[in-house]
Amino acid sequence: MDLIQVQSTTLAAVAYDSHYDLLELHFRNGTVYHYFGVPAQTHQDLLAADSKGGYFNRKIRGHFPYAVLRSVT
């Protein structure tokens, strides 16, 4: 997966594995999540969104199963 740095107040970077429909999100606070079963179009729409944090809240959060890879405590 290639990690793409993004301009966002919420997200720092995004990666996607089309073979597994796996979306990896790196948040500015250092937390990293894997979201499972994410369509490629959702990944593309996230990258194209003017507000990546807003898109995440509307279309990803609460819509896909996820795992926390690294959490900030």
Residue 69: partners with Cβ closer than 8 Å, 6 or more residues away = 24, 32, 33, 34
Q: Measure the CA–CA gap between 72 and 32, rounded to whole angstroms.
A: 9
Query: For residue 27, how far is the Cα from the chain centroid?
Result: 8
Q: Taking the CA atoms of 56, 38, 20 and 48 in sequence, report the sign of the dihedral they define.
A: negative
Q: Is the pLDDT of residue 1 over 90?
A: no
pLDDT tens column, 13-64: 999 999 999 999 999 999 999 999 999 999 999 999 999 999 999 999 999 9
pLDDT of residue 70: 83
Instruction: State residue 72's pLDDT score.
Output: 72
Domain extents in the chain: 4-70
